[in-house]
Structure 1
Amino acid sequence: MNISLEFNENNYTVREVCLEGKRIEYRAFENIVYVGNPVDTEHQRLSIFVPEQYYRDAKGKAPVKKPPVFLPNTVGGYMPGLPEEPGLDRSGKPNASFYAILNGYVVVSPGARGRGLRDENGVFTGTAPACIVDQKAAVRYLKYNRDRIPGDTERIISSGTSAGGALSALLGATGNHPDYEPYLEEIGAAKETDDVYAASCYCPITNLEHADMAYEWEFGGLSDYHWGDREGVMTEAQNMLSVMEKTLFPPYLNSLKLTGDSGEWLFLREDGNGSFKDYIVEYILQSAGREMGRGTDLTALNWLVIEDGQPTGMDWAAFIRYRTRMKTAPAFDDVFLSAPENELFGSPVTARRHFTPFSLKYTKASGEIAEEGQIKRMNPMNYIQDRAAKKAKYFRIRHGAADRDTSLAISAMLTAALRGRGVAVDYQLPWGVPHAGDYDPEELFDWIKRICQIE
């Protein structure tokens, strides 16, 4: 298959969309295969959407400054994602791409391979690190066409939710790292760089090899679980695994040598208490304070201490009971190999594998463990201290205070690690928000406007 990587600026359609009284008009360049040797042309393609106003402005005599590129992915659950055009999201509200066009930005929506994909020979083609490799290849395509594409490829802002938030974090933390080069060469990615300017990460399901212990640090002690229509009580064996996992988290957290916003060392004692827990509590209190500032009455929450109209403290254990447990132990590397993440770490010939020594030790499925390099490439925490990886200048991390899909510790550790390397991180735990993304488009694009210094 001979695929050109040159962008064709004449192959487009003009579209108009009006939602909630807001109207956008844009040119759609669709279904562009972004690698020269694709494994899956259904997913290894992207679409580019350019505000029609950009072309109107370009007809004037003065040079037109290229707008930033908004790069949202549609990956969820580490499943395959397809390009998505500006319009309505799953909840029936205008999606982030719609708002990006509305604000004058170029939107590039890349598809990506994901878990469960097979080729005609039955070979699994979407296992890790395929999803992040495809995202990097899409960035390289844009930079290869920097003189042809209307957007500013030096100001690419990635965005995603859940597993997509994890991919956005990976893009922001692993720019140009040689660990991914063999995979990019194999699919015929452009010979370009793949670092991005900024990363927006909603509830990132990341740091998977330590996510189980973090989950039990937070939810350990709660046996009853609530996941949609699935409710129940953990078995005796699951409770034992929870207790063991919980003890593993403080040593891991302490090994990171993280510091807080005032330079204090973030640590945990064996009992799970310490300055790291205090760090998260402070962000929860800030979230409650913002919510009260909007006029919400939180006085009925008996775990929240309110003095002079401001939240000043909280009962951590009562807060966790209030949130409730969602997943049984282990939450991510299931001992029966039944979790989505087990499929992510499969191999070309093996559907599911473990990715932690703990679950391998207690496996009930005679499972094998994924290769160390495969696991490493899916965790941005493994690259933040690595000088070979070019970090994005800016991160925006949002993890809903009501989100139980992963521990609040995951986003807190990511934030502290990035700030420790001098990265500017806008981090909040939005009050009452469950596992979700793109719920604050005005705030998101205000942030983009600030970091891009747009008047």
Structure 2
Amino acid sequence: MQRKIKHPLLASTLMAITTAGLLSGCGGSSNNSTVVTTPNITSTTDAEDAALKFDANNYTTVTVTVDGVATAIRQYRVVYVDKPIKMAATQPTLMGTTATLSDPYVYQTMIISVPEAVINNQKTALYFAVNNAGWFASPVSTTIAEGKAFVSTNDTDNIGAALKAGYVVVNVGTRSRGIKSEDGRWVGKAPAPVVDAKAAIRYLRLNDSNMPGSAERIIMTGTSGGGGLTAAVSASGNSADYLPFLVDIGAAGIQVSGTTTTSTLKDGVFAAVAYCPINNLGNADTGYEWEYNAIRNDTNTPALNGVAYSAGEQISASTALAAAFPAYVNGLGLKRDNGTALTDANLRDTTLVQVKAEIERQLAAGKTIPALGENFTLTQSGPPGTAPTTKTLVNDWLTLNGSGSSATVANIDYTKFLTFVTTLKTLKTVVAFDAVGVTGNKDTSGSWKISGETNLFGSDSNQYSNFNAWSWNNNAANGDASGSDDTGLSWSAYLSNPSNNLATQIKLINPLAYLNTSADSAPYWYVRHGMVDRDTAFAMQTLLYQAVKNDPTVKDINFKLPYLVGHSGNYDVQEAFTWIKAKLDATP
């Protein structure tokens, strides 16, 4: 299928997106037919496709063990675009340190690992793994290395399970927030991670007939920011909205003639396996405060710059952000499983359905769950290099009927459940995601902290831009080119201003903007968010689930809130890979 779009300059891309369309998310157009014009676009042929031809002979061989059996793996290292961006030698990491790059193109490279037993199998699945924790940029890496031992039956060894199943493992590097190019530009801004992932998919499709595995059977997976990336890519398959950005990096399968750009390849995927996806960032802050505002206090909310939650700007910010969320939810037009409209009035009850279902699954499987008044004992991992901690917390939120495997859930006090979650791990400060320039969020030197996902947005000449209305209107960092204080524009006026593409950035990383539209969403979804995970609101995951469930092109959505699981991924490998196999087996 071919889609056409007039190719705009990056700074004015798709400014037909309106503020209302940005906020509504579901049920509108995916802008696949958006047409805008721009001068100075040179006609090209398929030079990129010729340059991106897969070389089947250019590989190294590593030997690993899978369940104790020596397994030879052919590894291909590929730059998946024809115009990769050369990166600065030193880059930041998620942990706040810096890393020195030995390869300036490591963010637009993928490592393809093929078990030699399936080297001639062009039907096996491609297990397409992204990283991007915290939506940070992800230099390509792989754990498939000489001498590595994998155990396919281990519930945390997804790579071992993939190799045992005979899948091709594709580890993908992508640009994202925080990185700089060699010439000093901030080149990881949205929608860069989504665009890079789509470019990698296009490379696989371009070379499908010459590579092991089938590009029609891509299983995309990631955790946290990588889960959010997985959701965004999987929801927006083949949308023409991304073509201008794909042209800029020389992605495969795009022809430019004059001002018209045509896609000759697809960039959708077969299945999404997303763990705790940090998604829908444009509305994540309002959702977070709507979820937690009523239970925030000085114990479960850290101080900012030495000022307690109750004594500073956080408390009023939380209230204001929470108040903005109902209008967003009610404008989505989503339906619950029972066919009634999903609204802010029943959103918590809709989440509770999932909590109840998970607890009853555990009871039926023989799990011992404390009765009301008894204690939960939970062990949580700490930062790298630290020992796990154990907490004992009274059950004051869950009432059971009966006992043993026949027990059922009689009642869940949702407010007390949220308090339970935040006792295990304190909440994020206010503002949780768009935190720069607001609520006194400064470091010990008095400078504004670059925290949250704020630096995923804005132009490549500025380090960040606020991306929700409250943070924009309350930005107090003078001279940062963000907020009405520096631009002289209100939030709505700035979004509609053709001199920037912030509205486009927010939309193109939001899966809800593409589900239930003419985009080709993945037909199969496996989504997990831990029952005690406070890194994003349960409300945001419920909205994602219902949006996927509402999409008529989606054939299956397997969604759970795993019992007493925190912010993590790949903890249920056997269940996930059983599901993957079933979907692949059912598809000729």
- With normalisation by structure 1, the TM-score equals 0.91
For structure 2, the 5+ residue unaligned runs are 1-46, 87-104, 254-264, 375-394, 438-448, 484-500
Residue 317 (1) aligns with residue 449 (2)? no
Question: CA separation of 1:360/1:65 partners in 2, compared to 1, >3 Å: closer, same or farther?
Answer: closer
Give 1:271's aligned residue: none
Q: How does 1:114-263 map to 2 (within 5 A)?
A: 114-191=176-253, 192-221=265-294, 222-224=296-298, 233-234=308-309, 235-263=311-339
Larger relative contact order (CA 8 Å, sep ≥ 6)? 2
Question: CA separation of 1:100/1:84 partners in 2, compared to 1, >3 Å: closer, same or farther?
Answer: farther
Larger radius of gyration: 2
Work out the CA distance in 2 between the residues paired with 1:226 and 1:29: 47
For structure 1, the 5+ residue unaligned runs are 59-63, 269-273
Give 2:504's aligned residue: 373
CA deviation profile, 1:28-71 (whole Å, cap 9, x unmatched): 3332100011114121111111122214xx5xxxxx56201110
Question: CA separation of 1:228/1:35 partners in 2, compared to 1, >3 Å: closer, same or farther?
Answer: farther
Give 1:332's aligned residue: 433
Question: CA separation of 1:227/1:290 partners in 2, compared to 1, >3 Å: closer, same or farther?
Answer: farther
Shift of 1:454: 6.3
Shift of 1:97: 2.3
Give 1:61's aligned residue: none
Amino acid at match of 1:260: R
CA deviation profile, 1:370-410 (whole Å, cap 9, x unmatched): 621111111111111321x1111011110001101000111
Is the contact between residue 12 and residue 27 of structure 1 (CA under 8 Å) also seen in structure 2?
no
**Structure 1 stretch displaced more, 6-15 or 161-170:** 6-15
Work out the CA distance in 2 between the residues paired with 1:344 and 1:285: 36
Shift of 1:258: 1.3
Is the contact between residue 225 and residue 232 of structure 1 (CA under 8 Å) also seen in structure 2?
no
Question: Which among 387, 390, 401 is matched to residue 307 of structure 1?
Answer: 401
Give 1:291's aligned residue: 362
Residue 67 (1) aligns with residue 124 (2)? yes
Give 2:574's aligned residue: 442
Work out the CA distance in 2 between the residues paired with 1:81 and 1:444: 24
Question: Which among 447, 453, 474 is matched to residue 362 of structure 1?
Answer: 474
Amino acid at match of 1:205: I
Give 2:341's aligned residue: 265
Give 1:418's aligned residue: 548
Question: Which among 85, 88, 108 is matched to residue 170 of structure 2?
Answer: 108
Work out the CA distance in 2 between the residues paired with 1:385 and 1:225: 41
Question: Which among 60, 67, 70 is matched to residue 13 of structure 1?
Answer: 60
Work out the CA distance in 2 between the residues paired with 1:148 and 1:425: 32
Give 2:113's aligned residue: 49
**Structure 1 stretch displaced more, 95-104 or 180-189:** 95-104
SS of the aligned residue for 1:354 comes to coil
Amino acid at match of 1:297: I
CA deviation profile, 1:397-442 (whole Å, cap 9, x unmatched): 1000110100011111011011111222110000111110111111
Work out the CA distance in 2 between the residues paired with 1:36 and 1:121: 19
SS of the aligned residue for 1:340 comes to coil
CA deviation profile, 1:69-126 (whole Å, cap 9, x unmatched): 110102111112133324589xx99642232111111111111112111122211111
Give 1:429's aligned residue: 561
CA deviation profile, 1:344-394 (whole Å, cap 9, x unmatched): 11321100110011111111224515621111111111111321x111101
Work out the CA distance in 1 between the residues paired with 2:514 and 2:51: 32
SS of the aligned residue for 1:131 comes to helix
Amino acid at match of 1:223: N
Work out the CA distance in 1 between the residues paired with 2:331 and 2:360: 32
